[in-house]
Amino acid sequence: MTEIAAITGSIARAARIIDVLTAAPEGLALNQIVERSGFSKTTAFRVLANMQEVGFIYQDPESRRYLLGHKLAHIAQVATRSNIAGMAGRGMERLAKLSEDTVFLSVPEGAAAICVARATGAFPIRTLTLNIGDRRPLGVGAGALALFCAMGDEKREAVLRVNRNWMAEYGITAKDLQASYDAYVANGYAANIGRIVAGTSAVAVPVITRSKRVVGALALGAIDARMTKTRIETELVPALRKEASLLARRMDEMEQG
């Protein structure tokens, strides 16, 4: 086994222990962890010992049960404060109610865009082109395109190099992205008009903090018939910009405090 494979395996085993203990807030004895994790007793004991050393878990001296530790509690608190999906929830619901269409929130992760939240409106034909957790190359789809276009020149060039083959799977070329970027600069928003999923379109704007950090993108998706240029520019984009500004402000406050 290579060193990298061993590290990856260790992380996966620790994650499995965390999952098992998360489902048992009262704690578990070693034999219970062995049974629920599927690990051997030796493996479970070794992983538990390593996790105790870094404060991820602890063992109650009386019951001998293992419980999640203070370090994980701290990580959870930090994750909650920086949870952009949680911060965006009310704004996304407002957008869904106003437009009656589907709202998506995507965040950048390396050369990918990850859908981290979705809200659906009341219109009977729903555009559910992304599920939470779905990944797309930056530049492919409205939200991912808004993220791509909001980045600096050097980062966009790096993304193009890394994602060339991945983008090709969606029929997108570097020339296509340049045209989309030019339209973004001219219009102030990213648009995917019937390109990825036939019959559906979406528009998006980036969420940019005061420090110029691109933290996400809000998008509205609907069937093509509802995405007229007039509706996009007079109703949808202004609403997206308003909520993106509010979300960026909340992110600024979180970073400062």
Which class would CATH give 82-256? alpha beta
Q: In what side-by-side order are the strands of the sheet with 112-119?
A: 135-137, 112-119, 102-109, 214-223, 200-208, 190-193
Q: What is the pLDDT of residue 196?
A: 86
Q: Model-level pTM greater than 0.85?
A: no
Helix axes 84-99, 237-256, angle to 10 degrees: 160
pLDDT at 3: 41
For residue 8, what pLDDT is reported? 47
Measured in Å, how far apart are the chain's first and last C-alpha atoms?
44
Tokens representing residue 30 in the block: 């070693």
- pLDDT at position 246: 97
pLDDT one digit per residue (tens) for the chain, 257 residues: 444 344 447 889 999 999 999 999 899 999 999 999 999 999 999 999 999 988 899 888 888 899 998 788 777 766 655 689 889 999 999 999 999 999 999 999 889 999 999 999 999 999 989 998 899 999 999 999 999 999 999 999 999 999 999 999 999 999 999 999 999 999 999 999 988 888 999 999 999 999 999 999 999 999 999 999 999 999 999 999 999 999 999 988 876 75
Instruction: Phi first, then psi: give them for residue 134, nearest 5 degrees.
Output: -65, 140
Q: Where are the domains of the chain?
A: 3-73, 82-256
| d(C-alpha 19, C-alpha 106), whole Å | 26
Q: What is the pLDDT of residue 80?
A: 53
- Hey, which CATH number is domain 3-73, 3.20.20.70, 2.60.40.3710, 1.10.10.10, 3.30.70.980? 1.10.10.10
What pLDDT score was predicted for residue 78?
65
Nearest to 139 by CA among 191, 212, 197: 191
Structure tokens at 38: 């599927």
